[in-house]
Amino acid sequence: MYSHGSHATPISTAGYAMTPGQPPAVYVYQGQRYSDYQQLQAAMQQGPSLHRSGTTSWADVLKDKSALERKVHELFVQYAGADRKLDPAELHGLAIGVGQQLGVDPIAFGDIRTLFHRFDFSGDGHLDEKETFHLIQYMLRVHRDMQQKRSAQFAQRQHVPDFTAASIPFKQVEQAFDLQKKLGQGGQGAVYLAAERTTQQKRVVKFYDKSCANAPVEDIVDEFNLLTKLDHPKIARVYEVFQDHAYIYVVSEPYFGGDLTTCAQRASQNGVALNQNWLAGILRQVCAGILYLHNNRCMHCDIKEPNVMISGDTDWQCPNVVVIDFGLARDFKKSSTGVMGTPGYMPPEVWTQGIWTIYGDIFSMGSMFYNMYCLHQRKAFEGTTIPQLQAQACQCAVDWQPLSNCPSFQHLVQQMMQPSFKARPKVEQVMMHDWWREAGKEETSPISNKAISDLGKLRRTTDLHRALMTDMVGRENLTQLKELNDLFASMDADHSGTVTEAEARKALKNRMPPAEVDKLVQTLMGDTGCVTYSRFMAEMIAAKKADNDEVLWRMFKELDVDNNNSLDANEIRAMLQKQKVREIMADRTVTDVMDRMGLNRTGNVSFQDFKRALETVQGEVESSSSTTRPQTLREGDKVQYFSSSYACWMDTTIAAVDTMTGNMQLQCKPGYWLPPEEHHKVRRA
Ligand SMILES: Nc1ncnc2c1ncn2[C@@H]1O[C@H](COP(=O)(O)OP(=O)(O)O)[C@@H](O)[C@H]1O
Ligand SMILES: [Mg+2]
């Protein structure tokens, strides 16, 4: 049914063949296997001493490809054993051997497991001779750069950009994650399905090769930091970004329903009728995601079917769509075409002038809309070679006949693929086109009765409970919770990723008694007048799990570092240091919390104390349900802002409020727009 080349199969959670559990480390040195590092070191000391002159000969070898190939062949035969494949243990031996010849500690090449994955281009869990060649070449280059770095005359020619001073934390990927399955190997680096070791949560870890960075370090760091701030149900959720000497790692949520290259086929196999209404339901979600990116100064630059995933594989009638692989493309991708993007989706201006604008994204979306409409039987650009695809894009040579049975869809896609980028519509305009109404997808779907009843369960809990819950939920995978996602989507009418009070009231009108709506708005939004996606999810999950002892116990045990089933002052202090807790409990001192938990009376906090402290809602909160909600903050209001740097509340005034986004500016922070998720740091003076 599909003519599309890259069939991304949905990822399975089965273990990666390479890591059946955690095998004991085995090192291979001079053909002998050692299960213990100390034994290995002893053997190396007794072994033939390798000449330091090797250092110079290696440097020459690096300049001569065939000499390097011969050297690698020797080493490969020596370390790979009879199967002619290097496994991670054998690679360890090889790294030690090469390190010894160069006179450096193998640590200099970085984490060996990471190296292994980096060069396992085929993703089969072994390195063949060719992969090993690239690996050894890399080791030699790292070594050369390190030496050059030491000598001042080469300081300008440093190969790997220096991120060390930047604000991205350092971490060893293998210590934090069990890399289980290779999902892809793109221009920027490998992508793995992994389990986070501390929580066993499934994650996707993407490696960005620092040596491919082609933008100033500061810009790149900003881009990475932006990723963790994006918060929208249709945009892949990024949990954290960290680095080691060779890579920057981006950890995000995994999606298990495959991508848009296989979506129609799988839906059809599951008995779904593939009509316009179904297609519009999917494409509208893509629009919502891209709209959010564009509103947050982020261009995707690589929109295509493989970069749009389905979050789960259960609901094919209304699949939940998530956009992946955004940003960073410009800063990182090394591209064979000289321009960055994917032929067949790239607009003419990128081919001819290398300009990417948000209208380039619209063009790519147009190409994808076309392909999806034709179920990939036909594509907007049918070329089979890069020059053909380039020529077709530059001439905008699209055959519109396959779309002609739906004139309004053809009109929409034609607008999106106009040769002049300035003539193309923006995402908002795309979403206002008549076609959506014709396809029955203009309005957001109404909230289900089940969701209304879930919303009714929302109750105001203690700040501490909310803080710990937000911290915990912040680490959970959210898109699997389809019902809650749908609920959020039905309320977020403008797809901004934030539900405002007006949106909530409109969505709930005539579905709940007005007093209930007031209470709900107050619970969800407090004084800020809006709620972001992740905050909404945290509140809803907290409400569902609030009276669940198991969840409280899990929280308690996470805090109980010394595992003695009680919390002492240090553990409470550590709890208050957590990012989310600091944000929500900004004005609480350790003593306050300890008092509340009875710590100062007994010297420690038992689970019962902990539970009582989390569940007892203070007078101020109980009364809030009966009083009306305080007015939303407006320009000119006198407020206080909690300064994290000074750890105190400071008097200030609201300088401006952006009603679209809910962002506000404070006089004490000129030029900074405080996003809704930081509004709890502001209170009325
Ligand atoms: N969050 C995710 N969940 C599931 N699969 C993913 C996820 N992110 C990436 N993948 C898989 O890995 C492939 C490559 O990832 P991507 O981020 O698109 O990198 P690139 O295209 O630059 O190699 C994707 O096409 C997809 O199949
Ligand atoms: Mg991709």
Residue nearest to atom 2 of ligand 1 (CA): 254
C-alpha 258 to ligand 1 mean position (Å): 10
Which among 325, 330, 478 is the best mutation to test ligand 1's pocket, defined by most ligand atoms within 8 Å of the CB?
Answer: 325
Please report the pLDDT score of residue 311 as a whole number.
Answer: 93
Instruction: Please tell me the number of the ligand nearest to residue 191's CA.
Output: 1
Smallest Cα–Cα separation from 466: which of 329, 321, 290, 614? 614
Check if the beta carbon of residue 206 is closer than 8 Å to that of residue 188: yes
If residue 666 lies in a helix (H) or strand (E), which one and from where to where? strand 664-666
- Which pLDDT tens digit goes with each residue over 504-554? 999 998 888 888 899 889 888 877 889 999 888 888 887 776 556 777 787
Range list for CATH 2.30.30 in the chain: 629-685
C-alpha 249 to ligand 1 mean position (Å): 13
What is the architecture of the domain spanning 173-252? 2-Layer Sandwich (3.30)
Check if the beta carbon of residue 533 is closer than 8 Å to that of residue 232: yes
Right CATH number for 274-317+336-438 from 3.40.50.720, 1.10.10.10, 2.40.50.140, 1.10.510.10?
1.10.510.10
Range list for CATH 1.10.238.10 in the chain: 449-544
pLDDT-based confidence at residue 157 (cuts at 50, 70, 90): very low
Give percent of the chain above pLDDT 90.
30
- C-alpha 463/C-alpha 469 separation (Å) is 10
- Which pLDDT tens digit goes with each residue over 595-619? 777 766 667 888 888 887 776 654 4
Whether residue 543 has its Cβ less than 6 Å from ligand 1: no
Centre a 10 Å sphere on the Cβ of residue 477 and count the other Cβ atoms it contains.
17
Angle, alpha carbons 583-241-579 (nearest 5°): 15
Residue 301 has pLDDT above 80, yes or no: yes
- What token pair was written down for 57? 């000969």
Q: How many helices (H) and strands (E) does the chain have?
A: 30, 16
Whether residue 575 has its Cβ less than 6 Å from ligand 1: no
Please report the pLDDT score of residue 61 as a whole number.
Answer: 80
Exposed (0-12), middle (13-18) or buried (19+): which is 453, by Cβ within 10 Å?
exposed
- Average pLDDT score over the chain: 79
- Rank 214-218, 392-396, 410-414 by mean pLDDT and report only the highest: 410-414
- C-alpha 599/C-alpha 604 separation (Å) is 5
Whether residue 212 has its Cβ less than 6 Å from ligand 1: no
Q: How much is the average pLDDT of 257-285?
A: 96
Q: Which residues touch 164 (CB under 8 Å, ≥6 apart)?
A: none
Residue nearest to atom 1 of ligand 1 (CA): 254
pLDDT-based confidence at residue 331 (cuts at 50, 70, 90): low
Ligand 1 atom index nearest CA of 255: 3
Residue nearest to atom 17 of ligand 1 (CA): 325
Ligand 1 atom index nearest CA of 302: 21
Which among 191, 304, 309, 478 is the best mutation to test ligand 1's pocket, defined by most ligand atoms within 8 Å of the CB?
Answer: 191
- C-alpha 295/C-alpha 285 separation (Å) is 15
- Any idea which residue has 């998530």 for tokens? 322
Which of 399-408, 413-422, 621-630 comes out lowest in average pLDDT?
621-630
Higher pLDDT, 446 or 568: 568
Q: At what angle do helices 549-559 and 463-473 cross, to 10 degrees?
A: 80
Check if the beta carbon of residue 485 is closer than 8 Å to that of residue 478: yes
Residue 377 has pLDDT above 50, yes or no: yes
Please report the pLDDT score of residue 618 as a whole number.
Answer: 45
- What token pair was written down for 619? 């007078």
C-alpha 117 to ligand 2 mean position (Å): 18
Whether residue 123 has its Cβ less than 6 Å from ligand 1: no
Q: Which fold has domain 629-685?
A: SH3 type barrels. (2.30.30)
**The dihedral sign for the CA sequence 208, 211, 217, 219:** negative
Residue 424 has pLDDT above 90, yes or no: yes
Residue 472 has pLDDT above 50, yes or no: yes
Whether residue 10 has its Cβ less than 6 Å from ligand 1: no
**Residue 195 in 3-state DSSP?**
strand
Residue 15 has pLDDT above 60, yes or no: no
Instruction: Please tell me the number of the ligand nearest to residue 235's CA.
Output: 1
Smallest Cα–Cα separation from 93: which of 74, 114, 76, 70? 76
- Which pLDDT tens digit goes with each residue over 336-357? 555 578 999 999 998 988 788 8
C-alpha 368 to ligand 1 mean position (Å): 17
C-alpha 577 to ligand 2 mean position (Å): 36
Please report the pLDDT score of residue 257 as a whole number.
Answer: 94
Specify the DSSP class assigned to residue 25.
Answer: P
User: Is the pTM value of this prediction over 0.75?
Assistant: no
Please report the pLDDT score of residue 380 as a whole number.
Answer: 97
- C-alpha 141/C-alpha 455 separation (Å) is 58
Residue 381 has pLDDT above 90, yes or no: yes
- Rank 38-42, 378-382, 514-518 by mean pLDDT and report only the highest: 378-382
Please report the pLDDT score of residue 55 as a whole number.
Answer: 46
Whether residue 235 has its Cβ less than 6 Å from ligand 1: no
**The dihedral sign for the CA sequence 191, 228, 168, 342:** positive
Please report the pLDDT score of residue 398 as a whole number.
Answer: 96
Q: How much is the average pLDDT of 238-255?
A: 91
Dihedral over alpha carbons 180, 206, 10, 88 (to 10 degrees): -30
If residue 641 lies in a helix (H) or strand (E), which one and from where to where? strand 638-643
pLDDT-based confidence at residue 90 (cuts at 50, 70, 90): confident
C-alpha 361 to ligand 1 mean position (Å): 18
Residue 129 has pLDDT above 60, yes or no: yes
By the CB criterion, residues less than 5 angstroms from ion ligand 2 are 307, 325
Whether residue 324 has its Cβ less than 6 Å from ligand 1: yes
Ligand 1 atom index nearest CA of 185: 23
Whether residue 180 has its Cβ less than 6 Å from ligand 1: no
Range list for CATH 3.30.200.20 in the chain: 173-252
Q: How much is the average pLDDT of 455-484?
A: 78
What is the CATH code for 449-544? 1.10.238.10
Check if the beta carbon of residue 523 is closer than 8 Å to that of residue 510: no
Give percent of the chain above pLDDT 70.
76
Whether residue 252 has its Cβ less than 6 Å from ligand 1: yes
Check if the beta carbon of residue 343 is closer than 8 Å to that of residue 351: no
Please report the pLDDT score of residue 672 as a whole number.
Answer: 82
- Which pLDDT tens digit goes with each residue over 181-220? 999 887 777 999 999 998 889 999 999 888 777 666 777 8
Q: Which residues touch 313 (CB under 8 Å, ≥6 apart)?
A: 10, 256, 257, 258, 266
Whether residue 326 has its Cβ less than 6 Å from ligand 1: no
Check if the beta carbon of residue 367 is closer than 8 Å to that of residue 256: no
Check if the beta carbon of residue 357 is closer than 8 Å to that of residue 348: no
C-alpha 306 to ligand 2 mean position (Å): 6
pLDDT-based confidence at residue 11 (cuts at 50, 70, 90): very low
